[in-house]
Structure 1
Amino acid sequence: MKKAQNIVLFLSVLLFIGLAYISRFNVYQTDDYFCSYAARKLGLVQCFIDTYTTWGGRYFGYSLNMFNPVFYDSKNIVPKIYPVFLMLSFIGVSALNFKEYFNYSTKESLKKGFLLFFFYTMLLVSLPEHYFWITGSNIYFVPVILSGILLWFFKKYEDSKQKIWFYLSSLLIIILMGSNEILALIIEGILVLSYYQKRNRENLFLMMLGTAFLLVCFLAPGNFNRMGEVENGMVKWLKRIALLGADTAYVGLKVIAVLPLFIKVFEEDLKKITTQITCKKSALFWYVSFLPLLFTSYILTSIARQFESILFYFLLTSSLLLYFKFERIKRFWWVSLLIVFLPEIKVFPAKYSYFNIDFNGENIVKELLTTDLNEYEREMNERIDNIKKSSQDSVVVDKIKEVPRVLYMDEMASVKEQETYVNDQLQKYFNKKYIRTKE
């Protein structure tokens, strides 16, 4: 166990240092501009109302994005430090929970936090959209960190019975139900199971609170406004069944690939948990993974960045279940270690590229070794400067030639292509009628 832990800890520290270095070249992108523009034009209250009624029900996630500082951050400082701050927050919150639940020292808890960060990063469907795109991080990464804080609050209340921890837990549940639908469904499933296993007034209240605000999120008019026309009848249900199978297969294959290494690294922790919980109870919490998978297939959504909470939760619960039933799988930890650094398996066309299994390791290494990150940052800053300084309503800029693998980059349409959302967002933010790239 120690050998595997030491190897992964070394890789975790290198991973963090590499991502922190890459963050140094991060810039504002796409929705960062639009969120800042909308909040500045409409005001926070009206922007919230318009978003909720026309765009979607993520009342906390979208509200957080309204504070995007691009308008005031002329030096582009926030995109460079925010990803590092969030990664450190994830490691720190993980360490807090290891210290609280397992009574580890601060040093050991931080070590465990770095180890968990390694596995979390390897599982990400879209590393650039999750870590480096500010508006994406606020929707998908920040809620994971807040969920860790919620777990810590639960433990503090369980140990002390002080009402302040219960009230803080209630507040975080309200916040998380409006962060993103996938994590909200996972939390709802956990709250229902917690009440099922321990039927007291506190658990009942939390379950009802979670359900109420889950409905606030799901029943937002904006969710229905964004639904497009789809086939009816049997064709729609066949598509749902196919997507459920494809999404489940992706999640299962990606998690199974790293499970031997995860079980080996966290063997001591899993052993402690198995002395406090039965296999049947662990299976019940494992089943919660299928709730968001059923939902995504029902609304005809294939693998994308929102699946990362499912992958992480599935890894945690599957590792415990397999430790009960098939502990010997840890012997193959070295196979998992090799797998996570394999290149992306490209077998699907561009439309379904998210189904290609990728553990991000190779992409990070290639980014550090081959991408001219200074040139990318220079090109992006030059583009924005040219748009700002132009006195014309129509602006044509150069294409970005040095496109990174890990930093988020979505190019706008050229002069001979139809306008995309990227063009539209920049046009509104910079008050231009026409912005395109050269052919």
Structure 2
Amino acid sequence: MKKVQDIVLFLSILIGIGLAYISFFNVYQTDDYFWSYTTRKVGLLQSFINTYTTWGGRYFGYSINMFNPVFYDNNNILPKIYPVFLMLSFIGVSALNFREYFNYSLKESLKKGFLLFFFYTVLLVSLPEHYFWITGSNIYFVPVILSGIFLFFFKKYEDTKRKIWFYLSALFTIILMGSNEIVALILEGLLLVSYYQRRNKENLFLVLLGTVFLLICFLAPGNFNRMGEVERGIIKWLKRIALLGADTAYVGLKVVAVLPLLMKVFEEELKKITSQITLKKAVLFWSVSLIPLLFTSYILTSIARQFESILFYFLLTFSLVVYYKFEKIKKFWWVSLFVVFLPELKIFPEKYDYFNIDFNGGNIVLELLTTDLKEYEREMNERIDLIKNASKDSVVVDKIKEVPKILYIDEMASEKERETYVNDQLQKYFNKKYIRTKE
């Protein structure tokens, strides 16, 4: 087992170094300009009100984005260091929990944190939107890190019964319920399971608190304003059933592909946990991952960046369930390790390309070997300088020729195409009437 751990640890460090290097060429994108524009125009309070009533209920996640410093960051420093900071934070918080839950040394905890980072990275549906798009990271990656902090506080309270840890757990419950809907649903499920297992007033309080702020998030007027018209009656329900099947199949296939490797790498932890809880309890914790799958299918959402928290939680809890009955599948760890570095399996058309299975390892390698990242950064900076310094209200810029696969980019519409949100955001931010790319 130690040999396998060392192999995966080595790969996780290499992946981390590769992602850190790629991050060096990252730039601001799309919604980064939008949030900076709205905050400067109407102020923090009014921006929050407008967002909650017209856009969505992620009261914490969107609030972080309102502090986007693109207007003041003339040297584009934040896009280059923020992804690395978040990755290190994930590893650090993971290590903190390994130390707290398993009494590991600092060195062993950090090792386990790097190993968990490996599995988290290969599961990502959209690596660029999750790691390198600042406003996307605040919605989808930051809540995962904050969830780890919540778990640490909750464990400290369970062990010490000191009120400070309970108050911090309550605070992070409020924060996480307003981060994004998927994390909120997973947390609500965990709080309900926790109360079911230990029915005390503290757990009941957390359940009620979580439910109140979950409703504040879900019942935001902005959530309903953004819903488009869809089919009604039996057609809508058939679509929901089809999406539930497709989404669940994607999650299941991707998780099962890496499951033997995870079970081999974290064999000691799985053995310790299964010796302390029953299979019934393990299944109960795993079943929490089905709640967000049902929810996303109900609102007709197919696989996208929202599913990354589901995938991660599904993998961790399902590995525990499988360990009880099919522990021997860990001997196929080498198959999982091979699969992780396969290129993207392109089966579906562009409209449904999120369903293409991709474990990101191959993309990271190709990005480092084939993409001229420096040229991409130069093109993007040249475009922004041209728009910023243009004296006219209408600006036409070149299309970006060197397009990376890992760094996030959503190109503007051209002169002969209909305006998209990207054009609109840049036009507002730079106070222009018309910005397009050349044909």
TM bracket, shorter-chain basis: over 0.9
Per the alignment, residue 285 of structure 1 pairs with 285
Instruction: Write out aligned runs for 1:208-247 (5 A).
Output: 208-247=208-247
Deviation at 1:105, TM superposition (A): 0.3
CA distance in 2, matches of 1:371, 1:193: 47
2:205 matches 1:205: yes
How far apart, in 2, do the equivalents of 1:71 and 1:367 lie?
29
Task: Report the Cα offset of residue 275 of structure 1.
Answer: 1.5
Q: Distance in 1 between matches of 2:256 and 2:282?
A: 17
Note the 1:246-325 alignment, pairs <5 A: 246-325=246-325
Tell me the equivalent position of 2:341: 341
1:118 corresponds in structure 2 to 118
Deviation at 1:156, TM superposition (A): 0.8
Matched residue SS, 2:395: strand
The amino acid of 2:75's aligned partner reads K
Structure 1 stretches of 4+ with a deviation exceeding 3 A read: none
**Which whole-Å CA distance do the structure 1 matches of 2:58 and 2:206 have between them?**
19
Q: What is the match of residue 361 of structure 2?
A: 361
Query: What's the CA shift for 1:269?
Result: 0.7
- SS of residue matched to 1:69: coil
In 1, Cα distance between equivalents of 2:325 and 2:139: 35
For 1:106 and 1:193, how far apart are their aligned partners in 2? 30
**Which deviations, in whole Å up to 9, do the C-alpha atoms of 1:257-299 show, x marking residues without a partner?**
0000000000001111111111100100111111000000000
Question: How far apart are residue 160 of structure 1 and its match?
Answer: 1.1
Give, in whole Å, the separation in 2 of the partners of 1:322 and 1:136: 33
Aligned to 1:92: 92
Deviation at 1:88, TM superposition (A): 0.1
State the partner residue of 1:148.
Answer: 148
Which residue identity does 2:87 align to in structure 1?
A: M
Partner of 1:70: 70
**Residue 357 of structure 1 aligns to a residue in which SS?**
coil
Structure 1 position 306, deviation (Å): 0.4
User: Distance in 1 between the 2:314 and 2:111 partners?
Assistant: 22
Matched residue, 1:389: 389
TM (norm. structure 2) is 1.00
Deviation track 1:282-339 (CA, whole Å, cap 9, x = no partner) reads 1001111110000000000000000000000000001111111110010100000000
Shift of 1:407: 0.2
Aligned partner of 2:18: which letter?
G
- Match in the other structure for 1:420: 420
Aligned-partner residue type, residue 158 of structure 1: E
Q: Secondary structure of 1:435's partner?
A: strand
Q: Distance in 1 between matches of 2:325 and 2:27?
A: 47
Sequence identity, in percent?
83
One-letter code of the match for 2:355? F
Partner SS state of residue 70, structure 1? coil
2:188 is matched with 188
- C-alpha separation between the residues in 1 aligned to 2:37 and 2:176? 25
State yes or no: 1:82 paired with 2:82: yes
Give the superposition deviation at 1:181: 0.2
How far apart, CA to CA, are the structure 2 residues paired with 1:419 and 1:343?
33
1:393-413 deviations in Å (ceiling 9; x for gaps): 000001000000100010000
Specify the code of the residue in structure 1 equivalent to 2:200: N
C-alpha separation in 2, matches of 1:126 and 1:31: 16
What's the TM-score once normalised by structure 1's chain length? 1.00
1:165 aligns with 2:165: yes
> Structure 1 residue 134 and structure 2 residue 134: aligned?
yes
Q: CA deviation at 1:82?
A: 0.1
Partner residue in 2 for 1:28: 28
User: What is the SS of the residue equivalent to 2:26?
Assistant: coil
- Secondary structure of the 2:70 match is helix
Match in the other structure for 2:106: 106
Question: Where in structure 2 are the equivalents of 1:369-388 lying within 5 Å?
Answer: 369-388=369-388
